Chains A and B, each alone.
Chain A
Amino acid sequence: MPLQIILNLIIALMWMFLSESYNFPSFLTGFIIGAILLFLLRRFIPDAFYLYRVWKVIKLIILFSKELLLSNIEIVKWVYKPGRDYNPGIFALPTDLKSNWEITMLTSLISLTPGTLSVAISDNNDVLYIHAMDIGDKEEAIRAIKDTFEKAIKEVTR
């Protein structure tokens, strides 16, 4: 993957020098040409084509923005509803993610999504403790986090 990015940048720079115009548009043209070349030659270069992974990152960002919008609407509903018809609590979420980077991403995503807020991580990094606005649908929250976020993060990092 680093090899492919460096190759792509070298092709873009070469394109800039060959066309003798040193500005951003010609760099971008060279970058696109390099990406197309790498895509055509993907069977002869080690590792998968790196823009696949970039596409997965973009998908993760779209998923994240959608969840952020939904969580805000939910919070605003709770803010303006008279009375307190929610029942908060802290539940434990066992996670399969290993590295610090992955766990940081997961906690950030959890904190900005509907009704959940990460409070703590166990010492051996395999259980997250999450404060939920409504503990009643705890099973559903665990399933949603496992199915969407963990899967998306694994696709990006592995």
Chain B
Amino acid sequence: MTESMIEGIFDIIVIVLLIVGTFFIFSATIGVIRFPDIYTRLHASTKAATLGISGILIGAFIFLFVEHEIVSGKLILGIVFVLLTAPVSAHMIGRAAHSSGVEVWTKDGEQRDEYANDKQ
């Protein structure tokens, strides 16, 4: 295998990672617009955005390492902090919404909410 081939393979890996990351963030945005209530919107914004950001940062990490031989620890730390903070903020937003009386959207209109039942 020649050197240019190996570089080509790494380029393809970086391109795929960036495209996948952007796709997931785009889907998260559409999900936030399309889903019916705050809880389902939180599903979209926490999960898809986390993987999208991780994909883009890993792609940038590989690119910097292959092209410029820089080991960029900041990008890895970025992934770690996104993974740590996204679920916590989603939990807090969901709890705040529930405390201020937002009802769960259901398809058939029947409330299935064991938290509200237990709180009473």
Q: Are both chains from one complex? A: yes
Pick from A75, A84, A89: contact of B104, CB under 8 Å? A89
Query: In the bound complex, what is the Cα–Cα distance between A85 and B107 (angstroms)?
Result: 8
B88 surroundings in chain A (CB, below 8 A): 108
B116 surroundings in chain A (CB, below 8 A): 90
Q: A68, A69, A80, A88: which has the most chain B beta carbons within 10 Å?
A: A88
Query: In the bound complex, what is the Cα–Cα distance between A72 and B105 (angstroms)?
Result: 21
Interface of A is mostly: mixed
B31 surroundings in chain A (CB, below 8 A): 75, 78-79
Pick from B87, B104, B112: contact of A107, CB under 8 Å? B87
Whether A111 pairs with B91 at a CB distance below 8 angstroms is yes
- From 94 to 132 in chain A, residues with beta carbon under 8 angstroms from any chain B beta carbon are 107-108, 110-112, 115, 117-120, 122, 127, 129, 131
Is A91 an interface residue when CB atoms closer than 8 A count as contact? yes
Is B15 an interface residue when CB atoms closer than 8 A count as contact? no
A135 surroundings in chain B (CB, below 8 A): 112
Is A71 an interface residue when CB atoms closer than 8 A count as contact? yes
Number of interface residues, chain A, beta carbon within 8 A = 34
Is B90 an interface residue when CB atoms closer than 8 A count as contact? yes
Whether B47 pairs with A71 at a CB distance below 8 angstroms is yes
Query: In the bound complex, what is the Cα–Cα distance between A134 and B85 (angstroms)?
Result: 25
Number of interface residues, chain B, beta carbon within 8 A = 41
Query: In the bound complex, what is the Cα–Cα distance between A58 and B46 (angstroms)?
Result: 23
Whether B106 pairs with A76 at a CB distance below 8 angstroms is no
Whether A92 pairs with B50 at a CB distance below 8 angstroms is no
B48 surroundings in chain A (CB, below 8 A): 72, 75-76, 79
Q: B24, B47, B50, B95: which has the most chain A beta carbons within 10 Å?
A: B47
Is B3 an interface residue when CB atoms closer than 8 A count as contact? no
Listed in ascending order, the chain A residues whose CB lies under 8 Å from chain B are 68-69, 71-72, 75-76, 78-80, 84-92, 107-108, 110-112, 115, 117-120, 122, 127, 129, 131, 133, 135
Per CB-CB distance, the 4 closest pairs between chain A and chain B, nearest first, are A89-B112, A111-B87, A129-B115, A108-B87
Listed in ascending order, the chain B residues whose CB lies under 8 Å from chain A are 24, 27-28, 30-31, 34-37, 39-40, 42-44, 46-48, 50-51, 83-84, 86-88, 90-91, 94-95, 98, 104-108, 111-116, 118
